[in-house]
Amino acid sequence: SPSDPDLVERARAAKERLGEKVFVLGHHYQRDEVIGFADVTGDSFKLARDAAARPQAEYIVFCGVHFMAESADILTSDAQQVILPDLAAGCSMADMATAEQVEECWDTLAAAGVAGDTVPVSYMNSSADIKAFTGRHGGTICTSSNARRALEWAFDSSGGGARRVLFLPDQHLGRNTAIRDLGMAPEDCVVYNPHRPGGGLTPEQLRDARMILWRGHCSVHGRFSLDSVREVRERIPGVNVLVHPECRHEVVAAADRVGSTEYIIRALEEAPPGSKWAVGTELNLVRRLADRHAPEGKEVVFLDRTVCFCSTMNRIDLPHLVRSLESLAEGRVVNRITVDEETAHWARVALERMLALP
């Protein structure tokens, strides 16, 4: 639906008043009405890097979800303030691993005698506490665009030196990367269930595993199924199926191409006119890609019409953005995201390991 012209004008005016003081970051899953105001757009990795590269901006307005704003706060200077236009914009996947649960898991690994040669690798989609846990135990953060390099680093003797990896909190990204990119067997991966004593695993299973996958998933990507892929292939002969690695392994295995949001955007840019694509990622992005490429005769459809938007990404709408920008223009900071110094220190250690990956 078209945005309220009044709100568009208010956002524009407030942003103009703020000038260089404000830097607006927008994740690719944001609504059209919001993404138009972003100074840069990107996947999680690019946004983390770009947030850190803007020391002159006093305010960073993060149009994305909570863990992204936390990471921006960790990577920027103390003088910079990070604002999330709606504090309810969380991530259900990040919420699936709490600090207490992860500490308990580590105790379980220690009791089984395997903590010493296990290295945590945590997906960006996790709280600052989980990132700090990761840094404290010699691990790294990864995103969907560098998960392969993060795992290679973790297993390398001159990197993390791991015999096994504890991968948090997205079991699908962990499994997909281990099997597709590192050539592991499905049996090398076990799933740790934080709601079961000992994770539901025996000490032998923990010891023999190469990947201990946390039982978390994305509520949006988890809904694409093998049937979604079969149905679209039947409906659109010759279609290329392009999915995000947060999808389940059977979906990724049946797809033609797999990658982060930035990868998906690039793949469609490079696609020849006349080609057909079914894309399995968040709907705001897929709709924009469909509109952008239709004039060149590229057909882009949503992989499964029964899947919907990421409800938390969608919480950031134009009224919330206007409120953030107008209050900043009046010198009031609302919805600031901060991470305490101790947590930020260790989370930064883990994030900087990621930023230093080859």
Q: Which of 218, 283, 285, 316 binds ligand SF4 (CB under 6 A)?
A: 218
Q: Which does 219 bind (CB under 5 to 8 A by kind): ligand SF4, ligand 13P, none?
A: ligand SF4
Q: Residue numbers of the site for ligand 13P (CB under 6 A)?
A: 28, 43-45, 91, 125, 143-145, 218, 244, 246, 260-261
Q: Indicate the pairing of strand 81-83 with strand 336-337.
A: antiparallel
Which CB, 93 or 213, lies closer to ligand 13P? 93
Torsion of CA 42, 45, 49, 50, to 10 degrees: 10
Alpha-carbon Rg of the chain, whole angstroms?
A: 21
Is position 124 annotated in a ligand binding site? yes
What torsion do the CA atoms of 239, 243, 247, 250 make, to the nearest 10 degrees? 40
**CA-to-CA dists, residue 89 to 18, 30, 44, 51, 319, angstroms:** 24, 11, 15, 18, 14
Q: 263 labelled as ligand-binding?
A: no
Q: Are 50 and 25 in contact (CB under 8 A)?
A: yes
**Residue 140 to residues 180, 184, 206, 248, 328, Cα–Cα distance (Å):** 20, 20, 20, 23, 34
**Is the separation of the CB atoms in 226 and 255 below 8 Å?**
no
What mask, x for binding ligand SF4 by CB under 6 A, covers residues 47 to 86? ------------------x---------------------
Whichever of 266 and 336 has its CB closer to ligand 13P, that residue is 266
The single residue among 71, 108, 122, 125 that binds ligand SF4, judged by CB under 6 A, is 125
Q: Which of 34, 220, 347, 349 binds ligand SF4 (CB under 6 A)?
A: 220
Does residue 282 touch ligand SF4 according to CB under 6 A? yes
Q: Whose CB is nearest to ligand 13P?
A: 43
- Residue 102: contacted member of ligand SF4, ligand 13P, none (CB under 5 to 8 Å, by partner type): none
Q: What is the C-alpha to C-alpha distance for residues 209 and 204, in angstroms, rounded to an integer?
A: 8
What CA–CA distance (Å, rounded) separates 60 from 190?
39
Question: Which residues contact ligand SF4 by CB under 6 A?
Answer: 65, 91-93, 125, 218-220, 282, 310, 312-313
Binding-site entries for iminosuccinate: 27, 44, 123-125, 144, 244-246, 261
